[in-house]
Amino acid sequence: MNKTRQPQAALKTVSAAVLVSALLLSACSNGGNEGAASPKQDAEGGKTTLNIMTQSSALAPADPNEKLIFKRLEEKTNVHINWKNFTRDVFVEKRNLAMASGDLPDAIFDAGYGDYELLKLAKDGAIIPLNELIETQMPNLKKVLEEAPAYKSMMTAPDGNIYAFPWIEELGSGKERIQAVDAVPWINVEWLKKLGLDMPKTTGELKKALIAFKTQDPNGNGQADEIPLSFINKPGAEDLVFLFASFGLGENPDHAVVTNDGKVVFTPAEEDYKNAVKYIHELYEEGLIDVEAYTQDWSTYLAKGKDQKYGLYFSWDKSNITGANDSYDVMPPVAGPSGEINVTRTNALGFHRGRTVVTSTNRNLEATAKWMDQMYDPIQSVQNNWGTYGDETQQNIFEFDEASNSLKHLPLNGTAPVELREKTSVAGPLAILDSYYGKFTTVPDDAKERLRIVKEVMVPHMKAENVMPSVFNSIDELDALTTIETDLFAYVLRMRTEWYQNGKIDEQWDDYLKELDRLGLPKWMEIKQAGYDRATQK
């Protein structure tokens, strides 16, 4: 298992939702049929055809039907999918335009919708409730929800309806779940060894090591081309905020940390956050930070990683950036100025509500439900998530044991896990429960190593007993949250980036806190705390 580059649950702009809402009115008032191609029976073979929109990696075939997973599924279900597929960089725009135009597909697979979008689309009549379809036509999904009933509550909107098929991925539990930490710091241990340095144990020692990486030519080529520290300056596994926990509560992509007495904290308003930002500025002042860190994308980050230019970087799995070699190893969490060591637990990974929706123009709901239900067959879910077996045209991630009806992970042989998955997996809705390992599939080697890192390196320093659960807020709450977060989160990132470079956080802190309040932080805190209390008091 490794983390795919999925959209995180997501801040979505109000303007997009308003556009969808406004343009849907005419389509929905006419039953939503104008311009929509209805499913039909193929003249040859009696197959049902469904029109489905999706997204995929640029590494994958442009036509998803070329993927062996979907070829097998068509043979099994007698359902042919007429795909409208877009690469991830343009998918959200194309998805929103399609929904706004009223020329709707039958479903959107791997839709990536946030909660606010789901409820707005449902309110506007663009997507339908799925409760009855799940109950009457989807035995595989029902079985998942019987084994893990908490997910049914998480899928269900405050109005009692289920509007999307979810993505569920378990491995481990509690503090030891594989998603308990998002970003992992990877340090160049070859450079440490060459320069006679020990693994850093404090923020001070880390700074000294990075200075040595910059000034002492650890790659031995006589050029000052080493990059002591690199990251991607936005929420995700490539951000450097793992280091913030050395100064206190730490930071999360959604800016929420829950204290041990159940209080939701907005981390960028905390004093320890300010101290962490000041530390990053110290590194910037020494010229230790990659000059492209504030603007680079995944491909740029990856290219430099493959060239082994980094002293320290952040990622879910080093194999995806610098390869499955011994040049880099995990850097254990370092103690901050107080001497305390902390690892911030990441919130609500391993579950996404809005993975696939069915539109109101769909005229073959039974066939759609039965096809979607196959996604929750354990063997199908495992392939959706990782890739498949028996493909004679490219590297396989599994071999299939027919006797035990199980999939065994094959060695990657140096291939980056994320690259192989993006070529062959199909994402979309799925469920992989903890009970599936050893029964329907094996634990991949990269996941075994990550579980070891989490258990042995991270868990001993996780001070938090609570995390923010996956709360399904009401549409009124989501309307407020979306409006607030659009400006609030952008402001936080902008100011953090400026302070990394100009170091003026002390002088500007009081005005910054006032601006957070003006942008709606008190209301945000109220909604988040109420959601946490509801979710944990059930």
**201-214 confidence digits (pLDDT tens):** 999 999 999 999 99
Are 224 and 214 spatial neighbours (Cβ–Cβ below 8 Å)? Answer: yes
What is the rounded average pLDDT of the residues 240-257? 97
Give the pLDDT of residue 46. 82
Give the pLDDT of residue 489. 98
Q: Which residues of 191-225 are buried (b: 16+ CB within 10 A; e: fewer)?
A: bbeeeebeebeebeebbebbbbbbeebbbeeeeee
Give the pLDDT of residue 8. 37
Ranges in the chain annotated CATH 3.40.190.10: 48-173+350-443, 184-344+473-536
What is the rounded average pLDDT of the residues 89-109? 94
Question: Which pLDDT tens digit goes with each residue over 145-192?
Answer: 999 999 999 999 999 999 999 999 999 999 999 999 999 999 999 999
**Which fold does the domain 184-344+473-536 belong to in CATH?**
D-Maltodextrin-Binding Protein; domain 2 (3.40.190)
Band of the pLDDT at 21, cuts 50, 70, 90? Answer: very low
List, as one string, the DSSP characters of 66-107: GSHHHHHHHHHH-EEEEEEEEEHHHHHHHHHHHHHHT---SE
Catalogue the E-assigned strands of 96-164.
Answer: 107-108
Question: Which pLDDT tens digit goes with each residue over 443-456?
Answer: 998 899 999 999 99
Question: Which pLDDT tens digit goes with each residue over 311-335?
Answer: 999 999 999 999 989 999 999 999 9
Question: Which pLDDT tens digit goes with each residue over 500-516?
Answer: 999 999 999 999 999 99
Give the pLDDT of residue 38. 42
Q: Rounded distance, CA 538 to CA 533, Å? A: 9
What is the rounded average pLDDT of the residues 77-85? 97
What is the rounded average pLDDT of the residues 19-32? 40
In angstroms, the Cα distances linking 514 to 269, 273, 487 are 10, 16, 14
Residue carrying structure tokens 């991630």: 397
Q: Look at residues 293, 285, 333 and name the one whose alpha carbon lies nearest to residue 310.
A: 293
Band of the pLDDT at 418, cuts 50, 70, 90? Answer: confident
Instruction: Flag whether pLDDT at 2 surpasses 80.
Output: no
Token output for 512? 């910054």
Q: What is the CATH number of domain 48-173+350-443?
A: 3.40.190.10
Among 12-26, 39-53, 276-290, the least confident range: 12-26
| % the chain with pLDDT above 70 | 91
Question: Which pLDDT tens digit goes with each residue over 286-313?
Answer: 999 999 999 999 999 999 999 999 999 9
What is the rounded average pLDDT of the residues 40-52? 74
Average pLDDT, the chain: 91
User: What are the percentages of helix, strand and coil residues in the chain, rounded to 5?
Assistant: 45, 15, 40
Band of the pLDDT at 420, cuts 50, 70, 90? Answer: confident
Band of the pLDDT at 45, cuts 50, 70, 90? Answer: low
Instruction: Flag whether pLDDT at 10 surpasses 60.
Output: no
Instruction: Flag whether pLDDT at 216 surpasses 70.
Output: yes
Instruction: Flag whether pLDDT at 5 surpasses 80.
Output: no
Give the pLDDT of residue 376. 98
